[in-house]
Amino acid sequence: MHPFFPTNDELGIAVAKIAILLFIVLTVNAYLTWFERKVVAHIQSRWGPHRVGPHGLLQPLADGLKFFFKEDPTPAGVDKFVYYLAPLLALALALTSIAIIPFGPDPIRWRGHDIYLGIAPLNLNVGILALFAITALGVYGVALAGWSSNSKYPLLGGLRSSAQMVSYELALTMSVVGVLLMAGSFNLRDIINAQAPPVGHPDHGMFGWNLWPQILGFFCFFIAAVAETNRVPFDLPEAESELVAGFHTEYASFKFAMFFIAEYTSMITVSCLCTIMFLGGWLSPFPASWTITHYLPSVILIPFGLWVIMDGFRYETIFGRLVLPAVGTAITAFGLIFIVFPHINEFIQAPFWFLSKVLLFLFVYVWMRGTLPRFRYDQLMAFGWKLLVPVSIVNVILTSFVILAKMQWGAK
Amino acid sequence: MTTPLLVFFVLSALAVIGAVNLILQKHPIHSALSLIVVMVALAGLYLLMGAEFVAAVQIIVYGGAIMVLFVFVIMLLNAGVEEHTSLSKLAGPPGLLLAAALAAFVAATIARSGASVQAATQTGALSSTKGISEMVFKDFVYPFELTSFLILVAILGATVLAQREKS
């Protein structure tokens, strides 16, 4: 049997998984914009979106509709084929990269099939390389958009982005080599499992993660990843105060939305990757013997749900008074389900920690946007080539020597 | 027709069409894009043969790094549409002759080795990254290191040549 081609009923499961993941990712994308606007607003002592729906919660929906119904002009003199190809390419590659991420260790058993969380097959032994391959192609979306628009600012944005992504890709790839040496595998599942305590060894919880031995690699990776996703403080390709909107200046309506979704999806992918490589993926930060921490999802969800219900009763509009209590009841119900059914609670532990860590990284992304000023172009290049690349190479050499020493003298 | 065979033909067709399109396109960027299609289709073919590592590296190195530089240089120089001339008298007939000879040679090789197309769609065990690294770092370590050294010298040479002369 060919390792990459599923049988017929597995094909159905795969398609269903793709549809569900696509729906989840696009919804998370939409609410990520809401989250970002809210957090940045509060950093700047503003309210953020609060008109459309309770707490502005329907703002993403309104934005989405607006993207659909706006006029979609094609500027004169554009290279038609490449102009239409670029946003498609950006979006397709960003969404493909999410398919490689595994979200949990245990399968759901359904009609004799083991359904694992995540689309990629378990034995995708080049996991991290496949992800880098997709990110490596991601630069074309931005570069081609800049070039095909036949306009100065997009061209400058496209050039900046190509140079930036090529420079930082080196640091990005070099900084994970330490993790790969420690795990001895490219497979993302193996990388996470390598961070769990080996059988018969004391369980130190979060102190077993790659974050501590690979702290240099972690910083290099996260900084390079922020630069790869063109986010503040590395958002030179779309610096609005210098280049109008950079590479997507000439794009309107849904084509612009595609770039937007692509950017937010790659933020999610990078956060997932950071979690997997350095924060132990779905591993709990507490030792396995602390079973009481398994109630943490309920302890968070139930008070939050109750607060949403209370908040809903105090809300000004009728709509808010109806919707917020309903949402709050649903959240509380989930918290109660996790307490009442222990096997469901056990199952959601891994995805819960995974999503919490991803959310942490997404918050850091937004926090950085609210806090840091943009780099100057020469600073950006100097930072990438003169700091990140050498530091990540030093990290690789140090890690190799430590692993060699451990093998030589058997120090455990 | 089995699924792998179907995928093989789709990918091969993509590679061939991309390669022909690369020559026929008038704009350098369009040609570069066609070359990327060829690279990615080749990576797909490697993946079909179970060579995951080679496929990923093919996309990272050729599809990503090298072609991005091509596109970057074309964008930076703002190269325009190139003019196609009719075949020159000197290059035309010998060129066509050589092309025909090459095609015949390749066809003959394929015909002689019989089941190559079948073999291309069949996989045994997945070729592991470990196997490749053992070959590169154990069996062929000296040629590999020599090549690396050569590339290093080339990088240094490029850096020295690109430096501005101190006045």
- The ipTM, to two decimals, is 0.78
B115/B132 same-domain check:
no
Contact between B36 and B63 (Cβ < 8 Å): yes
Cβ contacts (< 8 Å) between A140 and chain B: which residues? 36, 68, 71
B147/B116 same-domain check:
no
Give the DSSP H or E segment for B6. Answer: helix B3-24
Q: Does B36 touch chain A (CB under 8 A)?
A: yes
B133/B167 same-domain check:
yes
Q: Does B133 touch chain A (CB under 8 A)?
A: no
Residue B88 resides in a domain: no
The number of domains in chain B is 2
| Residue-number span of the structural domain to which B134 is assigned | 128-167
What is the residue whose two structure tokens read 């706006």? A70
CA pseudo-torsion sign B138, B143, B147, B153: positive
Inter-chain touch B69–A166, beta carbons under 8 Å: yes
CA pseudo-torsion sign A250, A252, A258, A260: positive
* Closest CA in chain A for residue B54: A126
pLDDT one-digit tens code per residue, B62-90? 888 888 888 888 887 877 777 766 666 77
Nearest Cα neighbor of A24 from A86, A135, A98, A109 is: A98
pLDDT one-digit tens code per residue, B143-165? 999 999 999 999 999 988 888 77
pLDDT of residue A281 exceeding 70? yes
pLDDT of residue A1 exceeding 60? no
What is the residue whose two structure tokens read 């026929």? B24
Q: How many CB pairs under 8 A join A and B?
A: 90
What pLDDT is attached to residue B115? 61
What is the rounded distance in angstroms from the CA atom of residue A276 to the CA atom of residue A353?
Answer: 11
B41/B24 same-domain check:
yes
Query: Facing residues of A115 across strands?
Result: A108
Residue B25 resides in a domain: yes
User: At CA A171, angle to CA A141 and CA A137, rounded to 5?
Assistant: 20
Q: Structure pTM? A: 0.84
pLDDT of residue B124 exceeding 50? no
Interface of A with B in 149-168 (CB under 8 A): 155, 158-159, 162-163, 165-166
Residue B59: CATH number of its domain: 1.20.120.1200
Average pLDDT over residues B110-137: 65
Instruction: Show Cβ contacts of residue A333 under 8 Å, excluding neighbours closer than 6 positions.
Output: A305
Contact between A189 and A154 (Cβ < 8 Å): no
B3/B60 same-domain check:
yes
Residue type, A261: I
Average pLDDT, chain A: 83
B49/B118 same-domain check:
yes
* Closest CA in chain A for residue B74: A147
What is the rounded distance in angstroms from the CA atom of residue A329 to the CA atom of residue B140?
Answer: 65
What is the rounded distance in angstroms from the CA atom of residue B4 to the CA atom of residue B49?
Answer: 9
Nearest Cα neighbor of A229 from A133, A102, A96, A135 is: A135
Average pLDDT over residues B105-123: 68
What pLDDT is attached to residue B128? 66
Cβ contacts (< 8 Å) between A158 and chain B: which residues? 75
**Where are the strands (E) in A313-394, listed by range?**
none
Chain A: give the shortest CA distance to residue B146, in Å: 21
More confident residue, A377 or A219: A219
Contact between A119 and A18 (Cβ < 8 Å): yes
pLDDT one-digit tens code per residue, A6-50? 666 677 788 888 898 899 998 999 899 899 989 989 898 888 888
Residue B158 resides in a domain: yes
What is the rounded distance in angstroms from the CA atom of residue A63 to the CA atom of residue B115?
Answer: 56
Instruction: Show Cβ contacts of residue A120 under 8 Å, excluding neighbours closer than 6 positions.
Output: A99, A100, A101, A102, A127, A130
B43/B9 same-domain check:
yes
Residue type, B26: K
What is the residue whose two structure tokens read 């930036």? A164
